[in-house]
Amino acid sequence: MSADGEAILEVRDLVKHYPLTQGILFKKQVGAVRAVDGVSFDLRRGETLGIVGESGCGKSTVAKLLVNLERPTAGEIRYKGEDITRLSGRALKAVRRNIQMVFQDPYTSLNPRMTVGDIIGEPYEIHPEVAPKGSRRQKVRELLDVVGLNPEYINRYPHQFSGGQRQRIGIARGLALRPEVIVADEPVSALDVSVQAQVVNLLERLQNEFALSYVFIAHDLSVVRHISDRVAVMYLGRLAEIGTDTQIYEHPTHPYTQALLSAVPVPDPGARERRERILLAGDVPSPADPPSGCRFRTRCWKAREKCARVVPPLEVPEWFKEGARPAAHPSACHFAEERSVVPPEEE
């Protein structure tokens, strides 16, 4: 894994608004849910970018936009330099092949009436050029083997597998077309903790084996730390902060990240006692009516007058630039400052 490579995906000012309508016969738009509202980041070749944030902050919407299950309201997604949001027909199909998704819930994302062989091989129906008909069963057997399942299970049905095994089936399906990018939307959130580590390890092994780049989405910062090279923290449709795992976990500068980190369980009792817990006031505001200026201001203990007036840009704050401080990474806060909330991880 390397976090210094060229960008394979460049996301710029991505916006997805869902219209809010009123009336049954004559639908009138009365507003919009601003699910994603100006998100920019790069995914570098071979890296894992973690995206974390509370429920409803727009993570799955970003995932769907990246794999083209949804069309953005505005903004660009450049894949190897080309804006894929404007593609259609054959060009879109070719790009889609290279950016695949692994879904959260291994219980509902697999069709219960299809055999595992048909589920994993289904992408070949749309892309027969990847595996001609006669070779498909063999390819599916190989994929089962690659994800650690017995190839003899090819004729079984999803209900005959455990949650972890079903997620392996979902991953095999995601790999079928030999993509370059995998967007995994909470791939382990529905699994028992003991199984989560196995699936994360499998994803790491596959990344090396197939030179994959990952966007790994989770609501929990502790899950993301182990697998990510870089982490982006999302709040109410925007990014609060983005940086390497060390920058985000050891030198967080955005109050929202600091609050999230202060709630992450710490195994060491001594460290647990030393660290301070930041409790956030109030609930997440509605994405249909987000606060002006900084979206986090209604829950931020540092909010001042400027925060309501000016949207904080996602930039490296000037005061961290000098002397290459470890906290020098983009943070969307007018008053970004370091505050260590989690003791360094013991190696």
Ligand X SMILES: Nc1ncnc2c1ncn2[C@@H]1O[C@H](COP(=O)(O)OP(=O)(O)OP(=O)(O)O)[C@@H](O)[C@H]1O
- Give the nearer residue to ligand X in terms of CB position, either 71 or 306: 71
CA nearest neighbour of 213 among 183, 171, 187: 183
Stretch that binds Mg ion, among 53-61, 261-269, 290-298, 316-324 (CB under 5 A): 53-61
Pick one of 33, 147, 182, 328: the residue that binds ligand X (CB under 6 A): 33
Burial state string for 90-114 with b = 16 or more CB within 10 A and e = fewer than 16: eeeeebbbebbbbbbbbeebbeeee
Q: Indicate the residue among 60 and 331 with the shorter CB distance to Mg ion.
A: 60
- Comparing CB distances to ligand X, the nearer of 52 and 176 is 52
What distance in Å separates the CA atoms of residue 38 and residue 14, rounded to the nearest whole number? 5
d(CA 30, CA 27): 9
Cα–Cα distance, 134 to 138 (Å, whole number) = 8
CB 46 within 8 A of CB 5: yes
In 3-state terms, what secondary structure has residue 109? coil
Do the Cβ atoms of 106 and 190 come closer than 8 Å? yes
Compute and round to an integer the Cα radius of gyration of the chain: 21
Closest approach of Cβ 335 to ligand SF4, in Å? 4
Residue 212 contacts ligand X per CB under 6 A: no
Instruction: Name residue, tokens 């002397």.
Output: 323
Binding mask 323-342 for ligand SF4 (x = CB under 6 A): ----------xxx-------
Output phi, psi for 168, to 5 deg: -65, -35
Q: Which does 219 bind (CB under 5 to 8 A by kind): Mg ion, ligand X, ligand SF4, none?
A: ligand X
Q: With CB cut-offs between 5 and 8 Å by kind, which of Mg ion, ligand X, ligand SF4, none does residue 58 bind?
A: ligand X
Q: Is 200 in the site for ligand X (CB under 6 A)?
A: no
> What residues between 230 and 259 interact with ligand SF4 by CB under 6 A?
254-255
State which H helix or E strand residue 76 sits in: strand 74-79
Q: Choose from Mg ion, ligand SF4, ligand X, none: what does 262 bind? Cβ within 5-8 Å by kind.
A: none
- Out of 65, 294, 341, 342, the only residue in the binding site for ligand SF4 (CB under 6 A) is 294
| Residue 255, contacted partner among ligand X, ligand SF4, Mg ion, none, CB below 5-8 A by kind | ligand SF4
Strands 99-102 and 181-185: parallel
Distance in angstroms between the alpha carbons of the first and the last residue of the chain: 18
Identified binder of ligand SF4 from the candidate list 312, 327, 330, 342, rule CB under 6 A: 312
102 binds, among ligand SF4, ligand X, Mg ion, none (CB under 5 to 8 A by kind): none
For the chain, helix (H) and strand (E) counts, in that order, are 13, 10
- Which DSSP letter does residue 131 get? S
Amino acid code (one letter) for 220: D
Site for Mg ion (CB under 5 A): which residue of 33, 35, 43, 60?
A: 60
By beta-carbon proximity to ligand X, the closer residue of 103 and 161 is 103
Q: Which of 287, 290, 312, 317 binds ligand X (CB under 6 A)?
A: 287
- Residue 334 CA to residue 313 CA, distance in Å, equals 8
The verdict on 297 binding ligand SF4 (CB under 6 A) reads yes
Binding mask 40-79 for ligand X (x = CB under 6 A): -------------x-xxxxxxx------------------
- Between 146 and 284, whose beta carbon lies closer to Mg ion? 284
Q: Which residues bind ligand X (CB under 6 A)?
A: 18, 33, 35, 53, 55-61, 219, 287
Q: Which residues bind Mg ion (CB under 5 A)?
A: 59-60
